[in-house]
Amino acid sequence: MHDETLAIHAGYAPDGTRAVAVPIYQTVAHDFVDAEHAAGIMDLETPGFHYNRINNPTVDVLERRLTALEGGAAAMAVSSGAAAVSMSVLNLLGAGDNLVTVPQLYGATYTYFAHVLPRLGIETRFAPNDDPGSIAGLIDERTKAVFCETVGNPAGNVIDLAAVTSLAHERGVPVITDNTVATPFLLKPIRHGADVVIHSLTKFIGGHGTTMGGMIIDAGTFPWTQHPDRFGFMIEPEPAFHGVQYASQFPDAPYITRCRTVGLRNTGCSLSPFNAFLHLQGLETLAVRLPRHEANARVIAEYLGSDPRVSWVSFLGRPDNPYHELARHYLGERIPSIMTFGVRGGREAGIAVFDSVRLFKRLLNMGDAKSLITHPASTTHRQLRPKELELAGVSPDMVRLSIGLEHPDDLIEDLDQALSAATTVSA
Protein backbone atom coordinates (compact mmCIF):
# COMPACT_ATOMS: atom_id res chain seq x y z
CA MET A 1 0.00 0.00 0.00
CA HIS A 2 1.01 3.62 -0.44
CA ASP A 3 2.32 5.65 2.50
CA GLU A 4 -0.89 7.67 2.74
CA THR A 5 -2.83 4.44 3.29
CA LEU A 6 -0.29 2.85 5.64
CA ALA A 7 -0.35 5.93 7.86
CA ILE A 8 -4.06 5.40 8.46
CA HIS A 9 -4.47 1.62 8.45
CA ALA A 10 -1.19 -0.23 9.04
CA GLY A 11 -0.79 -2.31 12.17
CA TYR A 12 -4.40 -2.36 13.33
CA ALA A 13 -7.22 -4.87 13.03
CA PRO A 14 -10.36 -4.14 15.09
CA ASP A 15 -10.98 -6.44 18.05
CA GLY A 16 -14.33 -7.85 19.14
CA THR A 17 -15.69 -4.34 19.71
CA ARG A 18 -15.00 -3.50 16.04
CA ALA A 19 -13.78 -0.05 17.09
CA VAL A 20 -12.61 1.87 14.02
CA ALA A 21 -10.29 4.16 15.99
CA VAL A 22 -7.43 2.45 17.80
CA PRO A 23 -8.56 2.03 21.44
CA ILE A 24 -6.54 3.50 24.28
CA TYR A 25 -5.55 0.56 26.46
CA GLN A 26 -5.05 2.60 29.61
CA THR A 27 -3.90 -0.22 31.83
CA VAL A 28 -0.73 -1.03 33.72
CA ALA A 29 -0.83 -4.77 33.13
CA HIS A 30 -2.65 -7.65 31.46
CA ASP A 31 -4.07 -10.74 33.16
CA PHE A 32 -2.26 -14.03 32.56
CA VAL A 33 -4.35 -17.13 31.92
CA ASP A 34 -2.13 -19.22 34.17
CA ALA A 35 1.52 -19.78 35.10
CA GLU A 36 2.27 -21.54 31.83
CA HIS A 37 0.87 -18.60 29.86
CA ALA A 38 2.91 -16.17 31.95
CA ALA A 39 6.10 -18.15 31.42
CA GLY A 40 5.52 -18.29 27.66
CA ILE A 41 5.13 -14.52 27.40
CA MET A 42 8.03 -13.77 29.75
CA ASP A 43 10.29 -16.07 27.74
CA LEU A 44 9.18 -14.44 24.47
CA GLU A 45 7.82 -17.78 23.24
CA THR A 46 4.17 -16.64 23.23
CA PRO A 47 3.10 -13.30 21.71
CA GLY A 48 1.18 -11.12 24.12
CA PHE A 49 1.12 -8.23 26.56
CA HIS A 50 1.94 -8.37 30.22
CA TYR A 51 3.32 -5.16 31.73
CA ASN A 52 2.98 -1.81 30.03
CA ARG A 53 6.48 -0.61 30.74
CA ILE A 54 7.49 -3.17 28.12
CA ASN A 55 4.58 -3.29 25.67
CA ASN A 56 1.00 -2.13 25.26
CA PRO A 57 -1.67 -2.76 22.58
CA THR A 58 -2.12 0.93 21.67
CA VAL A 59 1.60 1.53 21.53
CA ASP A 60 2.00 -1.67 19.52
CA VAL A 61 -0.17 -0.28 16.71
CA LEU A 62 1.98 2.85 16.51
CA GLU A 63 5.12 0.71 16.40
CA ARG A 64 3.73 -1.46 13.61
CA ARG A 65 2.60 1.58 11.65
CA LEU A 66 6.02 3.27 11.73
CA THR A 67 7.65 -0.06 10.90
CA ALA A 68 5.48 -0.30 7.78
CA LEU A 69 6.19 3.28 6.73
CA GLU A 70 9.96 2.93 7.18
CA GLY A 71 10.09 -0.54 5.62
CA GLY A 72 11.67 -2.08 8.71
CA ALA A 73 11.30 -5.36 10.55
CA ALA A 74 10.08 -4.14 13.97
CA ALA A 75 9.99 -1.02 16.12
CA MET A 76 9.91 0.12 19.73
CA ALA A 77 8.33 3.33 21.00
CA VAL A 78 9.85 5.35 23.85
CA SER A 79 8.91 8.43 25.83
CA SER A 80 10.78 11.06 23.79
CA GLY A 81 13.09 11.61 20.86
CA ALA A 82 16.01 12.04 23.27
CA ALA A 83 15.18 8.63 24.75
CA ALA A 84 15.26 7.17 21.24
CA VAL A 85 18.74 8.62 20.69
CA SER A 86 20.16 7.31 23.97
CA MET A 87 18.43 3.92 23.84
CA SER A 88 19.45 3.25 20.25
CA VAL A 89 23.10 3.87 21.08
CA LEU A 90 23.25 2.17 24.48
CA ASN A 91 21.72 -0.96 22.95
CA LEU A 92 25.08 -1.47 21.21
CA LEU A 93 27.77 0.40 23.15
CA GLY A 94 29.35 -0.04 26.54
CA ALA A 95 32.44 1.12 28.39
CA GLY A 96 35.50 0.93 26.16
CA ASP A 97 33.53 1.23 22.91
CA ASN A 98 33.32 4.22 20.60
CA LEU A 99 30.64 5.87 18.50
CA VAL A 100 31.46 7.69 15.25
CA THR A 101 29.24 10.61 14.31
CA VAL A 102 29.08 13.90 12.45
CA PRO A 103 29.15 17.33 14.12
CA GLN A 104 25.88 18.52 12.54
CA LEU A 105 23.49 17.30 15.22
CA TYR A 106 20.57 18.52 17.28
CA GLY A 107 21.94 20.34 20.33
CA ALA A 108 20.81 17.82 22.96
CA THR A 109 22.15 14.94 20.86
CA TYR A 110 25.52 16.68 20.52
CA THR A 111 25.69 17.29 24.25
CA TYR A 112 24.74 13.70 25.06
CA PHE A 113 27.44 12.35 22.77
CA ALA A 114 30.13 14.87 23.72
CA HIS A 115 29.64 15.07 27.49
CA VAL A 116 27.38 12.29 28.82
CA LEU A 117 28.57 9.19 26.96
CA PRO A 118 32.22 9.77 27.99
CA ARG A 119 31.14 9.54 31.65
CA LEU A 120 29.88 6.04 30.85
CA GLY A 121 33.25 5.12 29.37
CA ILE A 122 32.03 5.49 25.78
CA GLU A 123 34.13 7.60 23.43
CA THR A 124 32.39 9.73 20.81
CA ARG A 125 34.46 10.43 17.72
CA PHE A 126 33.22 13.48 15.86
CA ALA A 127 34.16 13.60 12.20
CA PRO A 128 35.37 17.05 11.07
CA ASN A 129 32.41 17.23 8.67
CA ASP A 130 29.72 15.02 7.10
CA ASP A 131 31.90 13.72 4.27
CA PRO A 132 31.64 9.88 4.15
CA GLY A 133 35.41 9.55 3.91
CA SER A 134 36.01 11.53 7.10
CA ILE A 135 33.49 9.33 8.91
CA ALA A 136 35.00 6.07 7.68
CA GLY A 137 38.48 7.12 8.74
CA LEU A 138 37.44 7.15 12.41
CA ILE A 139 36.11 3.61 12.54
CA ASP A 140 38.24 1.00 14.33
CA GLU A 141 37.76 -2.38 16.03
CA ARG A 142 36.05 -0.77 19.06
CA THR A 143 33.51 1.16 16.99
CA LYS A 144 30.01 -0.22 17.55
CA ALA A 145 27.93 2.25 15.53
CA VAL A 146 27.92 5.22 13.17
CA PHE A 147 25.28 7.86 13.92
CA CYS A 148 23.94 10.65 11.71
CA GLU A 149 20.84 12.70 11.02
CA THR A 150 19.47 12.23 7.51
CA VAL A 151 18.70 15.96 7.41
CA GLY A 152 20.60 17.84 10.09
CA ASN A 153 18.84 20.01 12.65
CA PRO A 154 19.42 22.94 12.49
CA ALA A 155 22.32 22.77 10.01
CA GLY A 156 20.07 21.58 7.18
CA ASN A 157 22.78 19.35 5.75
CA VAL A 158 21.92 16.13 3.90
CA ILE A 159 23.99 13.02 4.54
CA ASP A 160 25.13 10.94 1.58
CA LEU A 161 23.53 8.00 3.30
CA ALA A 162 24.28 5.29 0.74
CA ALA A 163 27.98 6.16 0.82
CA VAL A 164 28.10 6.29 4.63
CA THR A 165 26.31 2.97 5.09
CA SER A 166 28.45 1.29 2.45
CA LEU A 167 31.69 2.39 4.11
CA ALA A 168 30.45 1.47 7.59
CA HIS A 169 29.27 -1.96 6.48
CA GLU A 170 32.60 -2.68 4.84
CA ARG A 171 34.08 -2.26 8.32
CA GLY A 172 31.41 -4.35 10.04
CA VAL A 173 29.60 -1.47 11.75
CA PRO A 174 25.84 -0.67 11.73
CA VAL A 175 24.48 2.80 10.97
CA ILE A 176 21.87 4.55 13.13
CA THR A 177 20.02 7.40 11.44
CA ASP A 178 17.77 10.07 12.92
CA ASN A 179 15.03 10.66 10.32
CA THR A 180 12.98 13.17 12.33
CA VAL A 181 13.24 16.12 9.92
CA ALA A 182 12.59 14.16 6.73
CA THR A 183 9.95 11.74 8.09
CA PRO A 184 9.35 8.46 6.20
CA PHE A 185 7.22 10.36 3.69
CA LEU A 186 10.26 12.21 2.33
CA LEU A 187 13.06 9.72 2.94
CA LYS A 188 13.30 6.04 3.88
CA PRO A 189 16.85 5.48 5.21
CA ILE A 190 16.56 1.67 5.22
CA ARG A 191 16.34 1.73 1.43
CA HIS A 192 19.78 3.36 1.43
CA GLY A 193 21.38 0.86 3.81
CA ALA A 194 20.56 2.23 7.28
CA ASP A 195 20.32 -0.44 9.97
CA VAL A 196 18.39 1.51 12.60
CA VAL A 197 16.09 4.51 12.13
CA ILE A 198 14.95 6.74 14.96
CA HIS A 199 12.36 9.51 15.21
CA SER A 200 11.30 12.18 17.59
CA LEU A 201 7.55 11.67 17.25
CA THR A 202 7.20 14.99 19.04
CA LYS A 203 7.92 16.82 15.79
CA PHE A 204 6.20 16.30 12.41
CA ILE A 205 4.58 12.96 13.20
CA GLY A 206 2.72 14.26 16.25
CA GLY A 207 2.46 17.55 14.43
CA HIS A 208 0.55 19.66 16.91
CA GLY A 209 2.97 20.44 19.73
CA THR A 210 1.00 18.45 22.30
CA THR A 211 2.74 15.14 22.77
CA MET A 212 6.26 13.82 23.30
CA GLY A 213 7.46 10.49 21.99
CA GLY A 214 10.24 8.64 20.22
CA MET A 215 10.55 5.60 17.96
CA ILE A 216 13.35 3.17 17.12
CA ILE A 217 12.97 1.01 13.99
CA ASP A 218 15.11 -2.04 13.31
CA ALA A 219 15.78 -2.72 9.63
CA GLY A 220 16.44 -6.35 10.50
CA THR A 221 19.22 -6.58 7.93
CA PHE A 222 22.52 -6.17 9.79
CA PRO A 223 24.50 -9.48 9.88
CA TRP A 224 25.29 -9.61 13.62
CA THR A 225 26.47 -13.22 13.51
CA GLN A 226 29.18 -12.33 11.00
CA HIS A 227 30.86 -10.11 13.61
CA PRO A 228 31.06 -12.20 16.80
CA ASP A 229 34.07 -10.32 18.19
CA ARG A 230 32.30 -6.98 17.92
CA PHE A 231 28.73 -8.01 18.73
CA GLY A 232 29.01 -11.09 20.89
CA PHE A 233 26.18 -9.82 23.10
CA MET A 234 23.80 -10.26 20.17
CA ILE A 235 24.90 -13.87 19.76
CA GLU A 236 25.70 -15.20 23.24
CA PRO A 237 23.10 -15.85 26.01
CA GLU A 238 21.84 -12.59 27.53
CA PRO A 239 22.20 -12.70 31.33
CA ALA A 240 19.82 -9.76 31.75
CA PHE A 241 16.94 -11.68 30.14
CA HIS A 242 16.67 -15.42 30.70
CA GLY A 243 19.70 -16.30 28.58
CA VAL A 244 18.05 -15.29 25.32
CA GLN A 245 20.28 -15.47 22.23
CA TYR A 246 18.92 -12.64 20.11
CA ALA A 247 20.51 -13.25 16.72
CA SER A 248 19.54 -16.93 16.60
CA GLN A 249 16.17 -16.87 18.39
CA PHE A 250 14.91 -13.62 16.82
CA PRO A 251 16.69 -13.43 13.46
CA ASP A 252 14.11 -11.08 11.91
CA ALA A 253 14.68 -8.25 14.41
CA PRO A 254 17.33 -9.10 17.01
CA TYR A 255 18.37 -5.48 17.60
CA ILE A 256 14.93 -4.22 18.61
CA THR A 257 14.18 -7.35 20.64
CA ARG A 258 17.28 -6.71 22.72
CA CYS A 259 16.44 -3.01 22.93
CA ARG A 260 13.03 -3.83 24.42
CA THR A 261 14.02 -6.65 26.79
CA VAL A 262 17.25 -5.13 28.11
CA GLY A 263 16.95 -1.40 27.48
CA LEU A 264 13.27 -0.53 27.85
CA ARG A 265 12.54 -3.20 30.46
CA ASN A 266 15.30 -1.95 32.75
CA THR A 267 15.19 1.80 32.23
CA GLY A 268 11.45 2.34 31.83
CA CYS A 269 11.38 5.21 29.31
CA SER A 270 8.04 3.94 28.00
CA LEU A 271 5.55 5.79 25.82
CA SER A 272 2.15 6.08 27.48
CA PRO A 273 -0.92 4.60 25.72
CA PHE A 274 -2.58 8.01 25.54
CA ASN A 275 0.47 9.61 23.94
CA ALA A 276 0.63 6.74 21.45
CA PHE A 277 -3.02 7.42 20.58
CA LEU A 278 -2.30 11.11 19.98
CA HIS A 279 0.66 10.28 17.75
CA LEU A 280 -1.57 7.95 15.74
CA GLN A 281 -3.93 10.87 15.15
CA GLY A 282 -1.04 13.03 13.98
CA LEU A 283 0.29 10.31 11.72
CA GLU A 284 -3.07 9.98 9.96
CA THR A 285 -2.87 13.57 8.69
CA LEU A 286 0.88 13.77 8.01
CA ALA A 287 0.44 13.17 4.28
CA VAL A 288 -1.78 16.22 3.88
CA ARG A 289 0.14 18.46 6.27
CA LEU A 290 3.58 18.05 4.72
CA PRO A 291 2.74 19.57 1.29
CA ARG A 292 1.25 22.66 2.98
CA HIS A 293 4.31 22.95 5.23
CA GLU A 294 6.55 22.76 2.18
CA ALA A 295 4.54 25.20 0.04
CA ASN A 296 4.60 27.79 2.81
CA ALA A 297 8.32 27.22 3.40
CA ARG A 298 9.15 27.84 -0.26
CA VAL A 299 7.31 31.17 -0.15
CA ILE A 300 9.06 32.22 3.07
CA ALA A 301 12.49 31.19 1.76
CA GLU A 302 11.96 33.24 -1.40
CA TYR A 303 10.93 36.25 0.66
CA LEU A 304 13.92 36.03 2.98
CA GLY A 305 16.31 35.50 0.08
CA SER A 306 15.27 38.80 -1.47
CA ASP A 307 15.30 40.85 1.74
CA PRO A 308 18.40 43.08 2.14
CA ARG A 309 18.15 42.80 5.93
CA VAL A 310 18.96 39.08 5.58
CA SER A 311 22.58 38.12 4.88
CA TRP A 312 22.02 34.47 3.94
CA VAL A 313 19.32 31.80 3.71
CA SER A 314 19.80 28.04 4.06
CA PHE A 315 16.88 26.08 2.62
CA LEU A 316 17.20 22.81 0.73
CA GLY A 317 14.74 24.01 -1.92
CA ARG A 318 17.09 26.79 -3.07
CA PRO A 319 19.44 25.90 -5.97
CA ASP A 320 22.28 27.81 -4.27
CA ASN A 321 22.16 25.51 -1.24
CA PRO A 322 25.31 23.32 -1.13
CA TYR A 323 23.16 20.28 -0.31
CA HIS A 324 20.55 20.96 -2.99
CA GLU A 325 21.66 18.13 -5.28
CA LEU A 326 21.96 15.61 -2.45
CA ALA A 327 18.48 16.66 -1.34
CA ARG A 328 17.15 16.03 -4.84
CA HIS A 329 18.83 12.62 -4.87
CA TYR A 330 17.49 11.45 -1.50
CA LEU A 331 14.30 13.47 -1.11
CA GLY A 332 13.22 13.85 -4.73
CA GLU A 333 11.14 16.96 -5.24
CA ARG A 334 10.03 17.11 -1.60
CA ILE A 335 11.72 19.46 0.85
CA PRO A 336 11.40 19.70 4.66
CA SER A 337 9.90 22.94 5.92
CA ILE A 338 12.86 23.80 8.15
CA MET A 339 15.17 26.67 7.22
CA THR A 340 17.75 28.93 8.77
CA PHE A 341 18.84 32.45 7.90
CA GLY A 342 21.30 35.06 9.08
CA VAL A 343 20.29 38.55 10.11
CA ARG A 344 22.55 41.46 9.17
CA GLY A 345 23.92 42.75 12.43
CA GLY A 346 25.08 39.41 13.83
CA ARG A 347 24.10 37.69 17.06
CA GLU A 348 22.25 40.62 18.63
CA ALA A 349 20.22 41.15 15.47
CA GLY A 350 19.32 37.46 15.36
CA ILE A 351 18.18 37.56 18.96
CA ALA A 352 16.20 40.73 18.20
CA VAL A 353 14.25 38.94 15.47
CA PHE A 354 13.58 36.09 17.89
CA ASP A 355 12.38 38.56 20.53
CA SER A 356 10.23 40.63 18.14
CA VAL A 357 8.01 38.09 16.37
CA ARG A 358 4.31 38.18 17.20
CA LEU A 359 2.82 35.27 15.25
CA PHE A 360 5.75 32.83 15.25
CA LYS A 361 6.04 30.96 18.54
CA ARG A 362 9.38 31.18 20.32
CA LEU A 363 10.23 27.64 21.35
CA LEU A 364 12.59 24.71 20.76
CA ASN A 365 10.24 22.35 18.93
CA MET A 366 9.75 21.97 15.18
CA GLY A 367 7.32 20.26 12.83
CA ASP A 368 4.27 21.85 14.47
CA ALA A 369 1.11 23.04 12.72
CA LYS A 370 2.11 26.44 14.11
CA SER A 371 5.13 28.30 12.79
CA LEU A 372 8.03 28.26 15.23
CA ILE A 373 11.23 30.25 15.64
CA THR A 374 14.41 29.84 17.65
CA HIS A 375 17.87 31.33 17.89
CA PRO A 376 19.99 28.14 18.13
CA ALA A 377 23.18 29.68 19.49
CA SER A 378 21.35 30.96 22.57
CA THR A 379 18.80 28.13 22.97
CA THR A 380 19.13 24.60 21.54
CA HIS A 381 22.94 24.85 21.21
CA ARG A 382 23.55 27.26 24.08
CA GLN A 383 25.84 24.83 25.91
CA LEU A 384 28.25 24.44 22.97
CA ARG A 385 31.55 26.26 22.87
CA PRO A 386 32.32 28.55 19.87
CA LYS A 387 34.35 25.88 18.05
CA GLU A 388 31.63 23.28 18.65
CA LEU A 389 29.02 25.70 17.34
CA GLU A 390 31.06 26.19 14.19
CA LEU A 391 31.40 22.44 13.63
CA ALA A 392 27.68 21.95 14.24
CA GLY A 393 26.91 24.54 11.57
CA VAL A 394 25.45 27.06 14.00
CA SER A 395 26.53 30.67 13.49
CA PRO A 396 25.84 33.47 16.01
CA ASP A 397 23.41 35.23 13.66
CA MET A 398 21.46 32.07 12.77
CA VAL A 399 17.70 32.00 13.18
CA ARG A 400 15.85 28.71 12.63
CA LEU A 401 12.29 28.63 11.35
CA SER A 402 9.88 25.73 11.32
CA ILE A 403 7.17 26.82 8.91
CA GLY A 404 3.63 25.83 9.84
CA LEU A 405 0.24 25.81 8.17
CA GLU A 406 -0.79 29.46 8.51
CA HIS A 407 -1.31 31.74 5.52
CA PRO A 408 2.15 32.69 4.23
CA ASP A 409 1.25 36.37 3.90
CA ASP A 410 0.70 36.56 7.65
CA LEU A 411 4.04 34.89 8.31
CA ILE A 412 5.82 37.31 5.99
CA GLU A 413 4.18 40.27 7.68
CA ASP A 414 5.41 39.03 11.06
CA LEU A 415 8.95 38.45 9.82
CA ASP A 416 8.98 41.87 8.17
CA GLN A 417 8.18 43.72 11.36
CA ALA A 418 10.65 41.56 13.34
CA LEU A 419 13.43 42.30 10.86
CA SER A 420 12.63 45.99 11.10
CA ALA A 421 12.97 45.78 14.89
CA ALA A 422 16.30 43.97 14.51
CA THR A 423 17.56 46.66 12.15
CA THR A 424 16.83 49.27 14.81
CA VAL A 425 18.70 47.26 17.45
CA SER A 426 21.80 46.66 15.30
CA ALA A 427 21.97 50.17 13.84
Q: What percent of the chain has pLDDT over 90?
A: 86
Q: What is the pLDDT, as a whole number, of residue 107? A: 86
pLDDT at residue 16 in the model: 84
Q: For the chain, what is the HEC assignment?
A: CCHHHHHHHCCCCCCCCCCCCCCCCCCCECCCCCHHHHHHHHCCCCCCCCECCCCCHHHHHHHHHHHHHHCCCEEEEECCHHHHHHHHHHCCCCCCCEEEECCCCCHHHHHHHHHHHHHHCCEEEECCCCCHHHHHCCCCCCEEEEEEECECCCCCCECCHHHHHHHHHHCCCCEEEECCCCHHHHCCHHHHCCCEEEEECCCCCCCCCCCCCEEEEECCCCCHHHCCCCCHHHCCCECCCCCECHHHHCCCCHHHHHHHHHHHHHHCCCCCHHHHHHHHHHHHHHHHHHHHHHHHHHHHHHHHHCCCCEEEEECCCCCCCCCHHHHHHHHCCCCCCEEEEEECCCHHHHHHHHHHCCCCEECCCCCCCCCEEECHHHCCCCCCCHHHHHHCCCCCCEEEEECCCCCHHHHHHHHHHHHHHHHHHHC
Sorted by where each begins, the domain ranges of the chain are 3-274, 306-426
Mean pLDDT for the chain overall: 94
pLDDT in the model for residue 246: 97
Report pTM: 0.95
Q: pLDDT tens digits, residue range 165-219?
A: 999 999 999 999 999 999 999 999 999 999 999 999 999 999 999 999 999 999 9
Please give the pLDDT value at position 400.
94
User: Does the structural domain 3-274 have CATH classification 3.40.640.10?
Assistant: yes
Fold of 306-426: Aspartate Aminotransferase, domain 1 (3.90.1150)
**Per-residue model confidence (pLDDT) at position 49:** 92
pLDDT along the chain (427 residues), means of 10: 96 90 95 91 88 95 98 98 98 98 92 96 96 95 97 93 97 98 98 98 97 98 97 95 94 97 95 98 97 98 96 95 95 95 91 95 94 87 74 83 98 97 75
State pLDDT tens for residues 284-342: 999 999 999 999 999 999 999 999 999 999 999 999 999 999 999 999 989 999 999 99
Instruction: Write down the pLDDT at residue 427.
Output: 54
